[in-house]
Structure 1
Amino acid sequence: MNFLITGGTGFIGSALCAHLRQQGHYIVIKTRQPELITDNMAGVKRLSEISSDVSFDVVINLAGEPIADKRWSVSQKQQLVDSRIAVTDEIVTYLSDAKIKPAVFISASAIGYYGTGVTDGVIDESCAGDDSFSSRLCAQWEASAVAAEALGVRTCVLRIGIVLGRKGGALQKMIPPFSVGVGGRIGTGKQWMPWIHLQDLIGIVDHCIENKRIQGPVNCTAPNPVRNKDFTTTLGKCLNRPSILPMPSFVINLLMGEMGRELLLAGQQVRPVKLEQLGFKFKYEYLETALASVL
């Protein structure tokens, strides 16, 4: 099949593109540096460079400024919004002009959609968000993406949890302190950490392409989320290191401000209810086997 992908050079995107190339698909990547695209893939800087006569079977949108790389100043928060909404709007405009529409549009979002509460209730795809920045950001992002439905394009919005993989993501930042024995729970450790193995996330993309019944929001998390204290204990065990030095909430507030409060001190029990109802089978259901695979 023919794929159009934004964010194809990032942590998730590069792994997904490698997977699709192994399957023999043709890929066009929208990127700021199209000249660096290799492996029989094509790169474009703007979607307007693509002829309206070219058709794609699948369009996947993974573009967006990394949310946890910088403290959330006013300008950084605007950059987080613009990097997601502008690209998604550009895709929908491109699709509206395309002579042949794709069979499916898959657009990234995040579990941040559900906000900052720390509750024991199960969060499924029908649950609402709140007034936190991360929730409002995801809501805007998703609203931009689902505009493609009015064009007759089946649209899936992936609410992605903490992705565990070898070459990036949250683990890349967590492993160094744990490796030298200074890791531990964050805050109270009671906040949930809905996670997913990178291979399962790629499998979900495949599932969304193949299963025409999947539409709308999809929770991309493993079926067994854990609390932060359990995540850190398991990570320390897998690294054969102690995990006994907690990071107090006031330190997170001091160092990271709003970003730390929303991304590290909050977390809800998000579960992949829609995927389980539609028969998706996870390769990595439990954290210990997922971390062992990655590490």
Structure 2
Amino acid sequence: MAKIIITGGTGLVGTKLTELLLKNKYDVIVLSRNPKKNNEYKWDISKNYIDKKALENVDYIIHLAGAGIADKRWTNERKKIIIDSRVDTANLLFHKIKEHNLNLKGFISASGIGYYGAITSDKIFEELDKVGNDFLGEVCQKWEDAAHQFKTLNIPVTILRTGVVLSEKGGALEKMKTPIITPLGSGKQYMPWIHIEDLCQIYFKTINDNLSGIFNAVSPEHQTNATFSKELAKSIKKPYLGIGVPSFMLKVIFGNMAKILLEGSRISAKKIEKNGYSFRFKTLKKALNTLF
């Protein structure tokens, strides 16, 4: 079977995806700053280093590495880390693939629905829509540009613009499971989401079916922050309070980062569906029932 390198392989999505690929008999290599397992190999961005053994006979690279968008306040220093952790790592991979003249079958990169900008509108965004004019748009544009450079080596590139990933442990749901569930701000902002199993299966499909291009990786069902919160409260049997957390309070706590909590538009899943992917979790109710 094919040999696949995963960056960010110890993260939320990377861990689950590695399990899926190994289960299907793929040879999976994880690049790590501190390798511990037999399938982990060292890389060091500051030294432009990747263990040569990791690159031997590699067929695909899945690039998931990147500092968490919502982990800390967006200071200038944090913004630089968010961008560099995505772009510099992709650049290192590109230069090593070029240096060793490796003929990859595909470079598959994560991206985010933040590409379209953190805005609330009536528009349902599709893959051909323009980039948003804000920090998230800038991050995703630079992230994707770093991936697209592999095309200059005649390597097919696939980009998955991902929504809020729902998982049993970690991720967004962990932060949302408060004693009382409430919407944020007006609650009218949309929350494009995807079950982690669907996301991993889409990555799997891009390899199995040689899919290239840009795809939105979100569920076809649209939920606002308010309807999402209400469904979550039901699922985990916690009280729901319809009065939202005031916007000004979130801005005081999170600064500019509050924008990603207070804004959001609908994102279309039609392209990935037209390319043959059938979602296992089309409804939020079904997704949450499998996680709790």
With the shorter chain as reference, the TM-score category is: over 0.9
* Structure 2: stretches of 5+ with no match in the other structure: none
List aligned pairs for 1:58-97, cutoff 5 A.
58-97=60-99
Distance 2:86 2:225 in 1: 28
Residue 266 (str. 1) matches residue 254 (str. 2):
no
Q: Write the deviation string for residues 231-255 of structure 1: whole angstroms up to 9, x where unpaired.
A: 0000001011221142111111111
Q: Which residue of 2 aligns with 1:29?
A: 30
Contact 1:196 1:221 in 2 (8 A): yes
The whole-number CA distance in structure 1 between the counterparts of 2:99 and 2:24 is 29
- 1:81 offset after TM fit, Å? 0.9
Aligned to 1:45: 43
Equivalent positions of 1:94-243 (< 5 A) are 94-175=96-177, 177=178, 180-181=179-180, 183-212=181-210, 214-243=211-240
- Give the counterpart letter for 2:288 in structure 1: L
Structure 1, unaligned stretches of length 5 or more?
none
Q: Whole-Å Cα distance in 1 between the matches of residues 21 and 208 of structure 2? A: 14
CA deviation after TM superposition for structure 1 residue 48, in Å: 3.3
Contact 2:29/2:54 (<8 A) preserved = no
TM-score with structure 1 length normalisation?
A: 0.93
- Counterpart contact for 1:111–1:219, Cα < 8 Å: yes
Residues matched between the structures, number: 286
Letter in 2 for 1:68: A
Find 2:290's aligned residue among 278, 286, 293.
293
Give, in whole Å, the separation in 1 of the partners of 2:100 and 2:221: 41
TM-score for both structures, normalised by structure 2: 0.94
Q: Quick check: 1:88–1:145 contact (8 Å CA) kept in 2?
A: yes
Residue 285 of structure 1 and its aligned partner are, at CA, apart by: 0.3
The structure-2 alpha-carbon separation of the partners of 1:236 and 1:100, relative to structure 1 and needing over 3 Å to count, comes to same
Q: Distance in 2 between matches of 1:208 and 1:260?
A: 33
Task: State the SS of the aligned residue for 1:226.
Answer: coil
- Any idea what the Cα deviations from partners look like across 1:113-154, whole Å, max 9, x if unmatched? 000221122111011122210110110010011100111111
Structure 1 residues 166 and 52: CA distance shift in structure 2, 3 A: closer
Q: Residues 225 and 271 of structure 1 are in contact (CA less than 8 Å); yes or no, is this contact kept in structure 2?
A: no
Identity level (%)? 32
1:158 CA drift (Å): 1.0
Does the CA-based 8 Å contact 1:52-1:97 persist in structure 2?
Answer: no
Give me the CA root mean square deviation. 1.4
Q: Once the two structures are superposed, what CA deviation does each residue of 1:15-48 show, in whole Å capped at 9, x if it has no partner?
A: 11111111122122111111x224xx23222453
Secondary structure of the corresponding residue to residue 264 of structure 1: helix
Are 2:194 and 2:217, in contact at CA under 8 Å, matched by a contact in 1? yes
Using the TM superposition, name which of 139-148 and 271-280 deviates more: 271-280
